[in-house]
Each structure stands twice: as structure tokens, then as C-alpha cells.
Amino acid sequence: MKSEASARVNLEDARALLKEVFGFGDFRPGQEEIVAAMLAGDNLLAVMPTGAGKSLCYQAPALLSDGLTVVVSPLIALMDNQIAQLSALGAAAGVIHSNRPRADNVADWRRAAAGDLKLLYMAPERLMTERMLAALKDVGVARFVVDEAHCVSQWGHDFRPEYFALAKLREHFPGTPRAAFTATADERTRSDIATRLLGPDGAMHIHGFNRPNIDLVVTDKFDGKNQLIAMLGEHRGEQGIVYCLSRKETEEIAALLQGDGFNAVAYHAGLDAGERTDRLNRFLSEPDLVVAATVAFGMGIDKPDIRFVFHYAMPASIEAYYQEIGRAGRDGAPARAVMLYSGADATRRRRMVDRDTDDRSSEGARAEYRRLDDLIAYCEAVACRRQRLLDYFGETIEPCGGCDVCRQPPDLIDASAEAQLVIEAVEASGEVFGPSFIAEILRGADTKKIREKNADALSVYGAGKHKAAAFWRMLIRQMNAAGLLEIDTEYGGLKLNRARCADGAAAFKLRRQKTGAKARTRTSVDLGGADAGLLEALKQKRLELARERNVPAYVIFSDRTLIDMAKRRPETVEAFGDVFGVGAAKQREFAAAFLSVLCEFEDDDRAKVERGAA
Ligand code: ADP
Ligand code: MG
Ligand code: ZN
């Protein structure tokens, strides 16, 4: 009984802290329940999507509890980032890692040992040394938190051997609560994390994957570079990531963007470590930097104000896609995810799987091909894209109204006769040729290869003259996406899925792609009534303050906070405290600076109105 009552009081404290320290009015879905469970001392695993606000789920309990919370995190950049944010909130947090001067590490350790710290961040290999474990036993630990906990599992996509040793924590600190957090964990990975870190009494908290503020768009790639420039043109001055397929491509795209006046840089695993850190730091501090990156740029990019994630080439799987686009809009303000998609890129992806597997018929390889097919089917979606994406993760939603398909449902045209012709052409030519050659057969093309293979003797030769080759290739791609045709991964030849063809071809509908200017997508972030000029002035002030303090701009305030500020236009320090994301510490530190911008702007406005009236 007593513990229930105290948990309730704690939760009220947690709400007060949310407003006071973090400046947020409400918990996000899932947070409150996890905070309550943490405060009650549960061992738990929380699975919440990227950007859902996992950090707060352990930071708030840490700040509310007596004693030290030890947080394990895999990357130095991640830890530094959190420390910068916590310090700006006035929270007592420290970090120990190998990239800092020894004196700083020692200083933070002393504060922890003296009971002056609430949170101490560490890499797993540092924590699991005999010395550190013994020292922590002396000091006493209130709870352990393992962030990015999927790293503990070999089933996960990012296994880290250093995380493995964390399983020993249970033996060293049997009575100390442990909490694990991750964004991506399938069934197997979850139970793996639970066994290794939590023990039999571990509880699971699994929360939704919908990120409604991210606008989802997949569009046909027909003139990639110009399409990219056009899309980016609508986001000039904003920060984002352009994912590319290869290192070479990241360099090309970065050069292209620089040539067009963007602040852009390439990022990939081929750069040396110093160069990578340098570019990552630029990304954290320059609010308009666009990074053309491979997947190497990713985990722990914990920046709330990334406004767009573009895929210049298709990603490896839906999981990868979800993780990558999940880096956009973590502050909850509108953000965009656009993928340029082409059959050629799908083929390049398939080749990459081929190259990485020795045995193409192995279970592992087949799973990879299936994952790719799932992604292609997502790209070809004819109904709500978000619904399709979430369905993949086992979550059901109504059509969202905020994706490209919802906004502009594709024209579906009957193509059953044409689909039948494709099937005949594939079958008659022996199921060994790829899409381009099948299109040539149907078009009745007079090429060397046609003559060599005697394809001009087939009855379907020339039967599809009335349509362009591009039409046939598009139809074949969509038939592939619908599962009527399969591509032999070894030779690239098309094969029939006879079972599907039997009932699928008779009703086959082609999704007509809208190309050119018409396919351009809705853009410009919804400012919800905030004045764009004022917002610009507030951003300017934020940049100035960030430079003075040598921290990333979002450590001062997120975009969402500035938008809310521009809408509310507070005139007093007190009213300033009501702005979204303004807690007590930030209210004290920044009210004056921003109120003066707001005040000047009022004067400008008035002057304009008066001039207009005169
Ligand atoms: P992740 O779950 O990916 O670790 P973070 O903890 O980095 O996400 O949080 C993402 C963003 O959400 C941060 O900018 C954070 O300040 C913000 N955030 C967290 N909780 C809330 C909340 N209750 N209300 C508003 N914003 C929040
Ligand atoms: Mg996180
Ligand atoms: Zn939709």
C-alpha cells in the first residue's frame, strides 16, 4: 500500500519536473507509464521508436530519485550530446569516456562519489572493469540504464561485443533495478535483451511506431540529381540528410549540392576517424548543413531539428528505412521523408545482397531478398503509405491523410491484357531474360540480341508495339512488386509465380506514375500561424546564443519551441515560461534575450502598420 501511495506522489513530482525542468506540458505516449514503472523500481525493457523520447523516461526518474543512475551508451557522440542537453537544463549529470581529458573524467567521478551527480554516463567496456564495478559498489547505484539495448543481442542489426559483458551486471548488483531502452527490436531481440539484462521479472513496455509529423513520400526517380536539387530548394537553410547507396555517390551528391550553394558535406565509413568526428560535429553545430551519407551516418544522431531525410537511392529494407527517416522531426514539428525510387536502384540493391552472400539459396539470403521485396512493395503502395509502413511493424492505423498516396491517390488503370502479354513473353522465352529484354520482345525490337536468341520467332514478338518500352518496364516492375513475377537473383531473369499469375493477371491494375512537375510534392513546413519573419529572427538569436556557448543550436531551443514562441509572442518572463520546451533553467537564462527579439519585432510590426495607415 505504502509503495503505491509513494509511486503516486512520485508521478505528480514527475509531472512537475516535466514542466519545471524540461519545459514540456505533457508526457508523450508511453512515457508516463515507463517513468512510473522506473520509479517503482521495476526491471524493464522499453521499446519505443526513434524520437519518441526515451531519454526522458530515464532522465526524469534519475532526477527524482535519491542516488546515482548509471547510463550505458554505445557512442561517445551520443553521451556528449546528452550531457550538453542535460547541462543546459541545469541537471547534475556527468560522463566518463576515453575521449575526454583525464582530469575531466576524474572530476566527474569525484562528483559522483560525493553524491553530487544524478546521472553518470559511461561506455559498457568502461563500466564492466573490475575497478569501476568495485568503486560503484562503494558509492551505491540507484539504477542502471542501458540505452540502445539492441546492441546486446546478436540477433539485432547492431550487435556490439562490449555490450555482451553487461549480462554480468545482474550478478554484481542483484538488487539494483535495471532498465533497457531501444528503438528497434523484433521478438527475438527483445527476449534476448530481457534474458541478458533483466532476468525473469523483467517487464516489457512496447509503444507505437507512428510518427505522424513525418510526411512520407516515395517518388519515381527519372532525373535524380535535378529532382534532388528541386526538393532541397524547398528546404534551403534547413538541416537534413541525403542517404546515398555508395561512398562515391555521397561525394558526388555533396559536390553537386555545394555547387548549388548548399552547405553540404559527405559522410561515409571510408573517411578517417578524425574526419568523421569533424563532420559529425559540424552537423551538430551548423543548423543548415546537409549531409550526403551512407548508412554509416546514423545511430545516435540525436538531433531533434532535422527537417528532412531524403533517400537519393532506396534503402536496404523497411527496418533500415524506418530508422533512417526516424531521424527527422524528433522535436515533433513537421518534417519530410522523400525517397527517390527506381527499378535500377532495386536491382543495385539486389546485387549488393548477392555480393554479400556466399550461398544465395541459404535461409539468410532468402530472408534478405524477402526484405527487399517488402520494401519494393512499400514503394509501390497504392493505398496509404503510412498504413502500409506501420502494418509491417504490426500496427494498425486508419489512412493518415498525410502521405503522398493519401494526398494524391494514384490512377489505377486496367492492365490485365498487357499483364497477360508479359506472362506469355516470359514463359515463351524460357524464364531466363530480364525486364529490358522482355520489353524488347513485346515491342518487336530489331536488335542483335533478339536475332541471336531467335526471339523474333515467338508468337508474342511485337504484340506490344502499341506501348512504349518504358511502359512495359514499369508494368513488369509492378507485376514483380505484386508478386506475379520474381527476379532470379543470380542471373536477373524473370520467373513466373504461377499460383499468383493464375488469379492475379486477370484483374491486374497498373498504377500510373505521375511524372515531371506534377509529381512535385507539397512542402513548406506548417508554421501554424507563426510569422515566418519573426521565426527567422528567433532562429538568428538562437544561433548567436549557441555560438557564444559553443553548443549546438537545439541545445538552446528546438524548432518546435521557437515556433510556439512565435505563435504566443510572450511579453513577460512569466509568459515566456509557458512556451513549449521552456523549463525553469532556460526561462532564467534565455527569457531576456528572446523577449527583446519579440519586442523589437512588435515595434517593427507596429511601424509597418502605422506607415501603411499614413
Ligand atoms: P529517443 O526515443 O529516440 O531516444 P529522445 O529521447 O532523443 O528520443 O527525444 C527526442 C526528442 O523528443 C527530444 O528533442 C526531446 O527533448 C523530445 N521530447 C521528449 N519527451 C518530450 C515530451 N514529453 N514533450 C515534448 N518533447 C519531448
Ligand atoms: Mg535515444
Ligand atoms: Zn496516408
Q: Which of 213, 305, 330 to mutate to test the pocket of ligand 1 (most atoms within 8 A of CB)?
A: 330
Q: Which of 18, 31, 33, 55 to mutate to test the pocket of ligand 1 (most atoms within 8 A of CB)?
A: 55
How many CB atoms within 10 Å of residue 209? 22
Entry field: residues in the chain: 614
Atom of ligand 1 nearest to the CA of 26: 23
Ligand 1 close to Cβ of residue 219 (< 6 A): no
Tell me how far the alpha carbon of residue 389 lies from the centroid of ligand 3, in angstroms. Answer: 10
pLDDT greater than 90 at residue 284:
no
Output 370-377 pairs: Cβ under 8 A, ≥24 positions apart: 371/316, 371/317, 371/318, 371/319, 372/316, 372/317, 372/346, 373/481, 373/483, 374/317, 374/318, 375/314, 375/315, 375/316, 375/317, 375/318, 375/321, 376/346, 376/480, 376/481, 377/481, 377/482
Q: What is the mean pLDDT of residues 112-125?
A: 96
Ligand 1 close to Cβ of residue 538 (< 6 A): no
Distance CA 579, CA 18 (A): 13
Tell me how far the alpha carbon of residue 397 lies from the centroid of ligand 3, in angstroms. Answer: 10
Burial class (CB in 10 A: 0-12, 13-18, 19+), 529: exposed
Tell me how far the alpha carbon of residue 48 lies from the centroid of ligand 2, in angstroms. Answer: 9
pLDDT greater than 80 at residue 51:
no
Tell me how far the alpha carbon of residue 85 lies from the centroid of ligand 1, in angstroms. Answer: 11
Q: What is the pTM of this model?
A: 0.61
Ligand nearest to the CA of 306: 1
Give me the pLDDT at residue 538, please.
Answer: 93
Give me the pLDDT at residue 83, please.
Answer: 95
Ligand nearest to the CA of 391: 3
Ligand 1 close to Cβ of residue 327 (< 6 A): no
Q: What's the sign of the alpha-carbon dihedral 269, 272, 273, 276?
A: negative
Q: How confident is the model at residue 357 (pLDDT cuts 50, 70, 90)?
A: confident
pLDDT in tens, 239-251: 999 999 999 999 9
pLDDT in tens, 301-331: 768 899 999 999 999 888 889 889 989 998 8
Atom of ligand 1 nearest to the CA of 18: 23
Ligand nearest to the CA of 21: 1
Tell me how far the alpha carbon of residue 50 lies from the centroid of ligand 2, in angstroms. Answer: 7
Give me the pLDDT at residue 281, please.
Answer: 87
Mean pLDDT of the chain: 87
Tell me how far the alpha carbon of residue 402 lies from the centroid of ligand 3, in angstroms. Answer: 5
Give me the pLDDT at residue 9, please.
Answer: 62
Tell me how far the alpha carbon of residue 467 lies from the centroid of ligand 1, in angstroms. Answer: 52
Residue 318 CA: distances (Å) to CA of 40, 57, 300, 489: 36, 27, 19, 19
Give me the pLDDT at residue 436, please.
Answer: 86
Ligand 1 close to Cβ of residue 559 (< 6 A): no
- How are the residues of the chain apportioned to helix, strand and coil, as percentages rounded to the nearest 5? 50, 15, 35
